[in-house]
Amino acid sequence: MKGEEVLNLRYNPVLAPPLEVIPLWPEFWVQNKDIIGASRLFNWTIATEIDTTDLDAYLASLFFKTQCSMAGVQRFFETKLRARKREFVLHHVNGGFLTYIRADLRSYVDDYGVGTVLIENKAQVLWQIWLDGWFCNPFARYYGRLELTSIIDVQRLADPEVDLSTRIQIACDYLNFHRISIARKKFDCLPLRAMTNKRGWGGTGSTERYLPTVNACERHCRMSPGCQFWTYDAVGYYGQTLCWIWQDNEPDEVRDETGWYSGYIDQSPAAQVSPKNNLGHTNSMVPMVQKPEQLPEVTESLLRVMAVDDLTEVSGLKYLLLIIITTI
């Protein structure tokens, strides 16, 4: 037997199959070269009195976030390696790592896995291996802080009742939020159709919550029973980027507000004119990138402070705490 027998590969476990993503790995690190030099993970000359814990943890999570998805790795084995006459079987998932064994060794291990040669139930088997090795493993909730720092609602990728188009939108939101450069992906990231510089105002039946992107706000409304209208504050006017939705009702009016986005849940052009208000607003295509120039809000230091201190109440604080608690 010649060549490798077992391959243990890092991947991004947050992006569930069948989402096929291959990041442009080197470009991402070139873009982040300034912050890399400020981390003790890469620069051992940093003085010991300088605390780089948060930045170190952030960069550690990026080692996984900038990897291929599980389906992306599988695609590489099915195309590039197969063309070189090298056959491997995906044997199992262990947290953020995929273990492949050489195909001729399969009979010595078991008959469970996805071979390099395409099989009819490949998608189902990939999904089951991902569930067993990642999502259904309690340790995954804390592994590399990947879910905690994802901020986007990536847990919905594991919900079989969520349609594929919504899962694709979540994946696009995640990739854009974290500014992950992509070499190849097997789906399109479409911009959101919404009213720009508009906010809903008044009316009954509205609720609010912190959400990181305008796409997440629209998705929250679309997946909430009876939701008819949503408004998103992308500028953080109240201290956090908040989302309001109106269920079984619409706002009394839609006002001009710079940097805000709004929309009726039926995103077809005809539905953007409310029968109730007859506002006649026109829509624009909102790009999916609204990531601020900052590290993820949830850090190890913040969690430590929360464990021992009462935080001073400031505008929008409860929404930051909400995202931490619900994610944990």
Whose structure tokens read 């999570």?
61
Domain boundaries, the chain: 6-184, 192-286, 297-328
* Segment holding 94, helix H or strand E: strand 88-94
Res. 1: pLDDT tops 70: no
> CB of 218 within 8 A of CB of 263?
yes
Q: Considering only the C-alpha atoms of the chain, give the largest distance between any 2 of them, rounded to a whole number of Å.
A: 73
Nearest by Cα to 233 from 257, 194, 252, 260: 260
What pLDDT does residue 2 have? 55
> What would the pLDDT profile of 309-322 be if each residue is shown by its tens digit?
444 444 444 444 44
Tell me how crowded residue 194 is: count the other CB atoms within 10 A of its CB: 25
What pLDDT does residue 323 have? 44
> What would the pLDDT profile of 253-273 be if each residue is shown by its tens digit?
999 999 999 999 874 444 444
pTM tops 0.75, yes or no: no
What pLDDT does residue 160 have? 84
**Mean pLDDT within 170-197:** 85
What pLDDT does residue 320 have? 44
Res. 117: pLDDT tops 60: no
CATH superfamily of domain region 192-286: Hepatocyte Growth Factor (3.50.4.10)
What pLDDT does residue 186 have? 82
The confidence band for 197, taking pLDDT boundaries of 50, 70 and 90, is: very high
Q: Check the CA dihedral 146-72-94-31 and report its sign.
A: negative
Residue 182 exposure: Cα atoms within 13 Å on the Cβ side: 18
Looking at per-residue confidence, does 256 or 33 come out higher?
A: 256
Instruction: Give the tokens for residue 228.
Output: 């008819």
DSSP annotation string for 11-33: --TTS-TT--EEE-HHHHHHHTH
**Mean pLDDT within 25-47:** 72
Q: Please, what is the average pLDDT of the chain?
A: 76
